[in-house]
């Protein structure tokens, strides 16, 4: 079985008008499913992935051979129990795991799109994935769930399709990307673009890869996913396989070695242009923009039951920003629950084994499913 055969793909025939003005059609949307859709078709959950995630949320990713990115939360008997629910996860457009992205071949030039790929938004990603509901003939999802950029997609989904999900669980996210987060994304993009191999985005046709730039982008981003306390506890000033400082620029400290490793493994699985496009989509995300700055208006027509989760040590998408969403929903009397989970694992908490978090998700879903 070739790599491509391991990826399920829906060819979206229907034209999709992107926010940038371009229209795309006949584009691939790669997806994976877990569990079984029941006869009533009322047990479907659409899971949205974060910046560097993909459709392989659970089990083993057949391409990278690594664990699925949400293995702690999603699977048989887990918080999002695939013995009970039918989970659909898709790779976002702009991504690099089989969905329409910048490394696809442009039929006009017969070369990869590179930076000729249209700039996409969270809105475009969600509108593309909506086609999966029609494909599976699902009238209404039981839930839409996602963390970080996945949470932004959850919010966008409910705003765009106010009666298409019984429940929504946005985790560790925001309704409007902050200046700090735009700045951090820009740092990553500039790192990629500063790599000579990037070649203005047309590196593939020259058989080059801006690995160094992408690795540095990942290293910088990785720090933002952790917390100061978490880093201190795990690494402190511990030295890497040496008894004393070497008075050089080697990786003396374990944290340096760890970050270098994170950078080096990332470039094997991720495309630099996808990184540019997806971080751009996050930066452009401001759900209030269309509604004159009033977030409540984005959810006015929704009949969805919300459950919002943040983490104490997440400084990238802090509790205060998650709470903004709660406040906007309460202002219009929507059904919304909110929990801040104690964890020193930073923004990454939603991907890790944080029992309070996993129990909360499990309880919310199972109790809500009894009510529909």
Instruction: Calculate the alpha carbon distances from 128 to 10, 155, 192, 214, 329 in Å.
Output: 10, 15, 27, 27, 26
CA 48 and chain centroid, separation: 6
Residue 288 contacts another protein per CB under 8 A: no
Structure tokens at 43: 């047990």
Nearer to another protein, 97 or 325 (CB): 325
The interface region with another protein, picked from 113-121, 191-199, 214-222, 335-343 by CB under 8 A, is: 335-343
Measured CA to CA, the distance from residue 149 to residue 53 in angstroms comes to: 10
Nearer to another protein, 280 or 305 (CB): 305
Residue 370 contacts another protein per CB under 8 A: yes
Q: Is 222 a catalytic residue?
A: no
Residue 49 contacts another protein per CB under 8 A: no
Nearer to another protein, 133 or 175 (CB): 175
Measured CA to CA, the distance from residue 120 to residue 125 in angstroms comes to: 7
Measured CA to CA, the distance from residue 145 to residue 170 in angstroms comes to: 6
CB of 231 to another protein, least distance (A): 24
Judged by CB under 8 A, the residue of 59, 62, 162, 337 near another protein is 337
Instruction: Calculate the alpha carbon distances from 246 to 242, 250, 254, 356 in Å.
Output: 8, 8, 13, 42
Measured CA to CA, the distance from residue 5 to residue 23 in angstroms comes to: 28
Nearer to another protein, 108 or 367 (CB): 367
Q: Is 296 a catalytic residue?
A: no
Residue found by looking up tokens 């930076």 in the block: 115
Structure tokens at 180: 């700090």
Measured CA to CA, the distance from residue 107 to residue 279 in angstroms comes to: 25
Measured CA to CA, the distance from residue 114 to residue 163 in angstroms comes to: 37
Catalytic member of 49, 166, 177, 347: 347
Nearest by Cα to 230 from 159, 299, 311, 309: 311
Judged by CB under 8 A, the residue of 305, 318, 345, 358 near another protein is 305
Q: Is 314 a catalytic residue?
A: yes
Reported residue count of the chain is 372
Nearer to another protein, 303 or 356 (CB): 356
The interface region with another protein, picked from 205-213, 233-241, 242-250, 334-342 by CB under 8 A, is: 334-342
Number of Cβ within 10 Å of residue 78's Cβ equals: 17
253: three-class secondary structure by DSSP: strand
The interface region with another protein, picked from 145-153, 205-213, 271-279, 329-337 by CB under 8 A, is: 329-337
Measured CA to CA, the distance from residue 92 to residue 98 in angstroms comes to: 9
Judged by CB under 8 A, the residue of 44, 126, 267, 336 near another protein is 336
Nearer to another protein, 253 or 338 (CB): 338
Residue 331 contacts another protein per CB under 8 A: yes
Residue 327 contacts another protein per CB under 8 A: yes
Number of Cβ within 10 Å of residue 63's Cβ equals: 15
338 to 357, contacts with another protein by CB under 8 A?
338-342, 356
Nearer to another protein, 152 or 325 (CB): 325
Residue 60 contacts another protein per CB under 8 A: no
The count of chain residues that interact with another protein, using the rule CB under 8 A, is 23
Catalytic member of 58, 143, 148, 368: 148
Tell me if 22 sits within 8 A of 118, measured CB to CB. Answer: yes
Residue 330 contacts another protein per CB under 8 A: yes
Residue 22 contacts another protein per CB under 8 A: no
Residue 84 contacts another protein per CB under 8 A: no
Q: Annotated catalytic sites, by residue?
A: 148, 314, 347
Contacts to another protein by CB under 8 A: 305, 326-327, 330-331, 333, 335-342, 356, 359-360, 363-364, 367-368, 370-371
């Amino acid at each position: 079985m070739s790599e491509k055969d391991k990826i399920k793909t829906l060819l979206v025939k229907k034209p999709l008008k992107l926010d940038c003005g371009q229209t795309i059609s006949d584009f691939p949307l790669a997806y994976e499913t877990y569990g079984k859709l029941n006869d009533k078709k009322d047990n479907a959950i659409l899971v949205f992935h974060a910046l560097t995630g993909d459709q392989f949320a659970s089990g083993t990713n057949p391409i990278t051979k690594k664990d699925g990115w949400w293995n702690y939360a999603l699977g048989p008997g887990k918080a999002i129990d695939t013995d009970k629910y039918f989970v659909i996860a898709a790779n976002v457009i702009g991504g690099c795991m089989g969905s329409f992205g910048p490394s696809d071949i442009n039929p006009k030039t017969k070369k990869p799109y590179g930076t000729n790929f249209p700039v996409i938004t969270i809105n475009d990603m969600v509108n593309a994935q909506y086609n999966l509901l029609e494909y599976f003939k699902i009238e209404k999802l039981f839930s839409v769930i996602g963390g970080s950029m996945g949470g932004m997609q959850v919010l966008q989904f409910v705003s765009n399709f106010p009666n298409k999900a019984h429940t929504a669980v946005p985790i560790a996210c925001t309704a409007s990307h902050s200046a700090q987060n735009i700045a951090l994304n820009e740092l990553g993009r500039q790192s990629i673009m500063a790599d000579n191999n990037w070649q203005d985005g047309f590196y593939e046709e020259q058989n080059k890869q801006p690995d160094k730039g992408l690795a540095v982008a990942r290293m910088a981003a990785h720090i933002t996913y952790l917390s100061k306390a978490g880093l201190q506890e795990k690494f402190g000033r511990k030295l890497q396989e040496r008894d004393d400082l070497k008075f050089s620029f080697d990786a003396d400290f374990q944290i340096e070695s760890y970050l270098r490793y994170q950078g080096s493994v990332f470039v094997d699985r991720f495309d630099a242009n996808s990184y540019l496009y997806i971080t751009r989509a996050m930066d452009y995300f401001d759900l209030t923009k269309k509604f004159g700055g009033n977030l409540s208006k984005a959810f006015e027509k929704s009949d969805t039951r919300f459950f919002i989760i943040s983490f104490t040590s997440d400084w990238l998408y802090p509790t205060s920003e998650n709470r903004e969403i709660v406040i906007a929903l309460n202002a219009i009397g929507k059904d919304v629950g909110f929990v801040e989970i104690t964890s020193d694992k930073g923004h990454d908490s939603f991907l890790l084994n944080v029992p309070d978090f996993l129990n909360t998700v499990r309880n919310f879903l199972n109790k809500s499913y009894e009510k529909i």
